[in-house]
Amino acid sequence: MSATEAMNTNAAAAPESTPQVGRVPGVRIVGTGSALPSRTVTNDDLAQIVDTSDEWISTRTGIRSRRYCDREQGESELTLARDAARCALEASGHTADEVGICLVASFTPAAATPSTACLLQRELGLAEDTLCLDVNAACAGFVYALYVAASLLEHAPQPLALVVGAEELSRVMDFSDRSTCVLFGDGAGAAVLERAADAPALTATWGSRGNDEALFAPGVGSVDEAGEPRPSYLTMDGRAVFRFATEVLPKCTSEVLRAAGVDASDVDRFVFHQANKRIVDVAVRKLGLDPARCAGNIDHTGNTSAASVPILLDELVRTGALATPARVVMAGFGAGLTWASCLVEVASS
């Protein structure tokens, strides 16, 4: 059975259900940060190693270039996470000793253990009683982690949570497969969540649909049917993913608006996962949104998985494209299959 057939079978077996909704009062984002590695890889660069072209990639995805870690310079998922987190803390006006929760969304950590979050605790000098853990929901990971952090923060002794999305996707690319290697890039984005009595609620929705065919990467020590080691390359059924994404992205966006009791016109900015410009364009049309309030950055970042939403959010804040305080809807979708959305206030420090 193909991935598309499997998805259709799963969809038929799972009737429409009332969406799960989470609501955490008194929490807002007070600082953002991002970090992109130093090495820029253009479509023309990739055309030197795989059968593709700038025209083929850009017309199908909207991507012109992406960034890869330069390992000779010591760049990695962890260093990107550290740099993005430091920027977010600085922007928030707060210090590391006020952080009680540190979550990192990623599916490309350098090690199965320890978690990137634990290593980030060391890099940032966070207190040893900081709750640190990684979240793997692939490209929906940052939005998942944001809601988890907000929920934990509600009863935490410290007033701040640090949430990071960080990926080193160049490590899991098969550069002989033009259907995947042209899509992805490395990067990290971060946000500081603050518990405050005068902050509005963070509202979130989420879902999952078990599927290991549409998007898959072998884990540590995986072997093939002959017992031979398998590299951890990411594989993807592009058509199946496109069908899934154009279904769930508008769906979860509509759900979070309904759950929060707000109209789309009340939202200052929609920050969608940057997987493919065509996917976002379809969702924007289905939702009837103003494309100017949904503009992305995939042209120069590629798909950075769990990092894409926070990188875009920080870019909007940093460039002044998002004036704070602002109501922002974030939504992501990815392997799992997973999806999540949230409405949250982004405020100045």
Q: Which of the following is catalytic: 69, 87, 102, 139? A: 139
Known catalytic residue: 69? no
Q: Which of the following is catalytic: 273, 276, 294, 342? A: 273
Q: Which of the following is catalytic: 102, 132, 303, 342? A: 303
Known catalytic residue: 303? yes
3-state secondary structure the chain: CCHHHHHHHHHHHCCCCCCEEEEECCEEEEEEEEECCCEEEEHHHHCCCCCCCHHHHHHHHCCCEEEECCHHHCCCHHHHHHHHHHHHHHHHCCCHHHEEEEEEECCCCCCCCCCHHHHHHHHHCCCCCCEEEEECCHHHHHHHHHHHHHHHHCCCCCCEEEEEEEECHHHHCCCCCHHHHCCECCEEEEEEEEECCCCCCEEEEEEEEEECCCEECCCCCCECCCCCECCCCCEECHHHHHHHHHHHHHHHHHHHHHHHCCCHHHCCEEEECCCCHHHHHHHHHHHCCCHHHHCCCHHHHCECHHHHHHHHHHHHHHCCCCCCCEEEEEEEEECEEEEEEEEEEECCC
Known catalytic residue: 43? no
Instruction: Give the active site residues.
Output: 139, 273, 303
